[in-house]
Amino acid sequence: AQSVTQLGSHVSVSEGALVLLRCNYSSSVPPYLFWYVQYPNQGLQLLLKYTSAATLVKGINGFEAEFKKSETSFHLTKPSAHMSDAAEYFCAVSVTGGGNKLTFGTGTQLKVEL
Amino acid sequence: GAGVSQSPSNKVTEKGKDVELRCDPISGHTALYWYRQSLGQGLEFLIYFQGNSAPDKSGLPSDRFSAERTGGSVSTLTIQRTQQEDSAVYLCASSFTSGGAPQETQYFGPGTRLLVL
């Protein structure tokens, strides 16, 4: 079975500051890893994904994440936060052969302050 | 092109009533998933369809929950005898299938917000 741990249910940064959202996973087989963003009263939008190709993955809106197998981590970063980045972010894992159902972390609410 | 659509967007019902939630996946996507998002449980998987078959129903929380898919397209999630703990956002997602296996990227609909009074 797979699991995901997101450290920090709430993260606050200043506009222009580095964004770092942490995600650690557990999986007995090579995983697929995802970051999704959810704006208020909306569904989930895919930011980026890791599917065993390049370990540094670039996504939309300037976000990127690095897959580190030795640390079982897939942290999300953005060099400079923008007010529009305020949202909830979910890390998720899936594996092949199981219908690719997603197992989500508990989410991190990102607040961006002036 | 059109994304995943869900209806209704909001549903308020009384405890004990049955509700039906609808999902219309992206055209050509044969894999379809239902998830539930609630304050207490976070985001959790409910059921996965490949075409009209459901090879994984492991996330359905009780026998009050059922889902079907017809014509390999629209899916309906039915909750019978609703309880207050069923209040949540129900999200649907779909993905493309290649070689008989769903692709890893799922595209989500906006969800149906269910409130059971």
**Residues of chain A by 3-state class (helix, strand, coil), percent to 5:** 10, 50, 40
CB A63 within 8 A of CB A77: yes
The answer to whether A102 faces chain B, any CB pair under 8 Å, is yes
What pLDDT, on the 0 to 100 scale, is given for residue B48? Answer: 95
| pLDDT greater than 90 at residue B102 | no
**Higher local confidence (pLDDT), A11 or A98:** A11
What pLDDT, on the 0 to 100 scale, is given for residue A27? Answer: 87
| pLDDT greater than 70 at residue A42 | yes
A40 prior amide bond cis, ω within 30: no
Q: What backbone phi and psi angles, to 5 degrees, belong to B99?
A: 60, 25
pLDDT mean over B68-82: 95
The Cβ-side half-sphere exposure at A60, using a 13 Å CA radius, reads 9
| Chain B, nearest residue to A44 by Cα | B108
Judging contacts by C-beta atoms under 8 Å, the chain A residues touching residue B95 are 100
What pLDDT, on the 0 to 100 scale, is given for residue B94? Answer: 95
Which of A101, A108, A109 would you mutate first to test chain B, the one with the most B CBs within 10 A?
A: A101
Strands (E), B16-99: 19-24, 31-38, 42-50, 53-56, 65-69, 75-79, 88-95, 97-98
pLDDT mean over A103-107: 95
| pLDDT greater than 60 at residue B1 | no
Residue type at A4? V
CB A68 within 8 A of CB A77: no
Q: Number of helices (H) and strands (E), helices first, in chain B?
A: 0, 13
CB A92 within 8 A of CB A107: no
Judging contacts by C-beta atoms under 8 Å, the chain B residues touching residue A98 are 56
Of B43, B55, B91, the CB nearest to A99: B55
Mean pLDDT of chain A: 93
**Higher local confidence (pLDDT), A1 or A73:** A73
Q: Per the CB < 8 Å rule, is A32 touching B111?
A: no
Q: Per the CB < 8 Å rule, is B33 touching A32?
A: no
Of B42, B55, B110, the CB nearest to A43: B110
pLDDT band at B2; cut points 50, 70, 90: confident
DSSP characters over B54-66 = EEE-TT--STTEE
CA quadruple B72, B57, B34, A49: dihedral sign: negative
Judging contacts by C-beta atoms under 8 Å, the chain B residues touching residue A104 are 42-44
Beta bridge partners of B51: none
**Higher local confidence (pLDDT), A97 or A75:** A75
What pLDDT, on the 0 to 100 scale, is given for residue A40? Answer: 87
What pLDDT, on the 0 to 100 scale, is given for residue B98? Answer: 79
